[in-house]
Structure 1
């Protein structure tokens, strides 16, 4: 009979609870899976009567009662404060409606709605990158595409957010989604390097989890590598240096001998030290730089080492008390040679140090040694210019002669006197052997406009008149000739010659020759007259 009454009581309780739930007389309590929860039964401050707890599913289910004679439905159910239902180790199946019935002066019913939250658990972050480092750090090549996704197991579904924090910057949100958050960066750039955080929050329980992933952006150097050779400081060794700047992270370097490819060394620094046994004139060394996101074959540069060659004047002269500069030039040396000046062949190890007497200057691979206030006893002799680098050593000897200073004024005066004496001798010889030539020279200096010689000769008419006058005179004197001894007139035809000499010697000479011919003819006529009988 009792067994038949209990189901009908529970059915009635179910109907009453349904009406109370519809009226909104329930309290809400939120718990989490695997946690403990306590459901209150009305006002717990006053005295309490007999309390009984039920689970409302399709029909009420007895859970627990303050009557000690009724055991709990499960060991994890117990009373707290003589009225509240305490549940240990919540599970998702515990979610639902709970009813508390209290019988004191009257019977009271209290409805409680229990919600069970789970998660977020197993937060999964996926980033499609170029690769990862041994420590797990992800990296992507500059300009590549990167996909981001974040998922989590949670009840109810969580709200997922992405945050980005660049170095030395604050967090910036990338957006949120209630179920899943995915996005893609099409072109990775340097300013997108940093920490990416995925945060998932259970909106029911308020619990959240987050995962932070560091993402590096790698990029190779933009230009070709550069390599060079130099003498190591403090050590007489060859230092090979290779640089390939502008990329991230730093590349790796490999030095080899060429040809042959014998490995010299590899490092992150690109610096290798070689001793003299590994060196020879004209030898080549190749540096190959490789980058994690660079070309597979890498990039390279070649260094060829050479011993120095010297060029200098073999002999120099200095006057006592004067200064002299010795010059030494190095060519073809790689790496650059160290230039030293030494004194005397017998003690080449004695290096000349700059002081008040010696001044040494160097401009690139050209060195000069200036000796001040030359002294024949101290400074005359051999000087050695030495050029050395790790590949080889070269020396050149320079002989310095120190002499007494010359009397420059006396030498110049002597030369001038000899020149004047020679000029006087030549002038005398010319005057002696060719006076006409001297006369021509003199006229030449008088001016360029005096170039003509004009000879004026009386005309034939004047000559005829003169002959007639002469005939008259002869007739008058005929009688006198008969009585007087005969005289021979030594004058014939008279020619008046006027010469204007302006420098034309040839024409003047022609005029003189004509004059001489006339004189000869006159003399011939006179002789003929003398031979005639009286």
Structure 2
């Protein structure tokens, strides 16, 4: 029964070793106190594993301590399944490794057995020890395999799962295997275009990665390198690199691979002369291939059949050989299945040697050529002089002898010798050299000017042949063929035709010249040309002289026979021709030229043959400009200059004599305005009046002259006259003012209608006084203005009238009610009315103003209830008018002075504004903290109309919003404030919550199922659940409560909490909520483990047995009680005697039964036991 105890405490006793061999009884020590009455298990930690202990548990009911439980010692714990830990699961070969066999539970002593299983499956015992640790000081690759440990104590034995030990090693030196090859002393060999495979292997863990290198360059990654159709360039060193990327180690091995390949193509055969061109050397070569090819010649000579590699040479006597003999060379190679061959043939050149002589360009060198083409081998040629001395060097096929040109070679003979192995004797050809010789038909040729002249030249013997004759003119310049002037022809001889001869150019000595490499010849021919004077030309020292300077004129005749006479003629600008000078000199000088010399000039040249007149030339004498003349088309001329009417047109024309003609620039008030002789101003404006200057410029001479005039522009005033009316004489009369400002000269003004015939005139403005009493409302007055620049007079009118209605008064205030402003207006009227403020006592306030008058007063409550009067005065009103303002401070009222509302709802407070002047523009609400509510718009909402101002408090809170609120209004003459009390009521307290069940949903301990109960269902709107993570061990920090879920439906009575940390300990509580009223949290509970699945059967059996035993006992008790008198001894044996002398007062169950049977209504209070009661067991 769980009702009569309040907790437990646990004690332990350290037993002596060995047990029972000590006279001193060990003490009992408490290890846990104040355990909850619901606790049925407890874990005791931090015990000495070398000691033995005894434990007991005692129940407590407040201060009553029960009997201790039976003393028991903990039994030996069986070993749990061990697990293996390695210091390194992948050690390096040669390193040390320790292996530990770990246990969660198990009582010492414990023995350990180590087993190793190799890759082949063989299991051996590695070690036996009472230590859970073994150490392998030098691990090898043979240690690679599965390891397990077996742990055994007196209770049981357990074997661990096996664990793999992976020893890292290698790579070892690689081994290379090859297929499709042969072995030589140098390594491996293979035929070109064959296939070869190289396989590399090296022991390693983890397995090696292979990289192949060819001549130190990476070519492939992988263990097997296959080369298909290998070629010669693949020969070289092949290296296999084995890498252990885990250890970053590597090993390599290199082999040499040689590729056998034949030479390209076929053998090459040729022959060349030997033994001074008397014999033949047969040469055969077949370069390339590996190894070199083997060669031999056929046919054999005297049975000689010698084989040679790469190339072979054989001497064949020339005298024994017939023309067109053929020889064959055979070649063989290890990489070829058949032999290859080539052939060559010897033959004699055709015909005889041929000789010729030529010269280089400009005959600098003499070139002798000798050729004997064809034949094989080719013939040998060389040159020799007539004396037999060899010239130059010997050459094949063609021999060219180059000699520097010299006249010494003229008449000399050169011989070319030719030799060939098939020719028994040498052959030859010869050349004889000759310098050129020239002749002419006529050594002197004379012609008339303008006709053609023919010069001839004849060439006799020469060798080498002269290909061209050169002609030179009288200046010793080479004459080129030109159809217009010179024609060079070759027929029986050479000729030069000079076309259209010119005596000045063509007369003189000509030369005919011929040159070859061994000499030169030249012959002179004289050409005489007869010519008349040519047309003269005039040259001026200055074609445009400045007036007053000197001028030199020259008459130039290019051709003509002396003496020549010159005549000078002048043609004036009017066409008159006069003779300026006659003399035999071609030059005439004018010492001081004037503008009258301007005109045409020409010269006449005459000799004995003819005369010629030159073209005329213009002499342009420069002068000026003179002082300009200005012609003006203006309105009028005054003493000060010229005048013009505004918007009229005016033209200014400027003229000044000058050559070249002047350039004119106009200036207005010293600022350039126009370029040209005539300045035209269309629709001239007043601003264009001023000084106009004409500047005449001669740009050629850089000279100038200037003249200035004054121009005045007459213009009327702008628009029309301006009329206005002003009050005078203290607003009793009118002043009529007319003005027309501007214009030149000033305009004339006068008023209409006139008063007593008075009609004064004045310039610019005029004023007339009109009595107000004599002027009726809406009277009109007109002012007339005239001006010289206007054709018709201009006028203006003004009307005087009284303002409409009466003066209007009103009051308003500045911001923050700092100033009071009284405004009085009487709008309209001409002239405007005069307004002034006075107090109710008649004192003038402020100043008088027209049309509108604003009186500014500092705000004060003293003005409340007082009146202010505005007086208005006008010249047309016989008496002044007025309006009155009365000022009032604001008055406030409310519909309800006390307003109540439940927490969380919105509530509205009202404020009504009654009389006030000037009008209150804003009413201010203050909350219960005397803060302006306008600063927190999210909490408060303000609404207003004409006379009411409401405040809405949103989402009221009993702690924050309850209290006094104020409605405040202020104007410039006072203020008012009215309080409104707000009472925020809280919702009733929700019912208490009792957690009825809290368990983990599974052994994973990540989800908790929580169920609760409430006392009643009213005053409830929801729940929220809180979680507290309990500290592990002792800690002074109090863990915080965190809300897990909120706003649960009020009908909810259970909830599952997920995603908890399975290693943590938690406490939970549930709280009920009624709107914003939060109830008391439930008792704090931690989740229990889920029920054991076998518990229902065990509990069922236990309860069944207990029920049977209880039923039997109860029936026995009832039987004894009912028959206590008939069986007194049995009653005494079970219940004992009533009149015991013991001091113990023990209540027995049957007494309760008897009392219940004897009478009802007797009640004993048992639900609150008194700790001081005598019902204590001592």
What's the TM-score once normalised by structure 1's chain length?
Answer: 0.38
Structure with a larger share of its residues in strand = 2
Work out which structure has the larger RCO, using CA pairs closer than 8 Å and 6 or more positions apart in sequence: 1
Q: Who wins on radius of gyration, i.e. which is larger?
A: 2
Structure with a larger share of its residues in helix = 1
What's the TM-score once normalised by structure 2's chain length?
Answer: 0.18
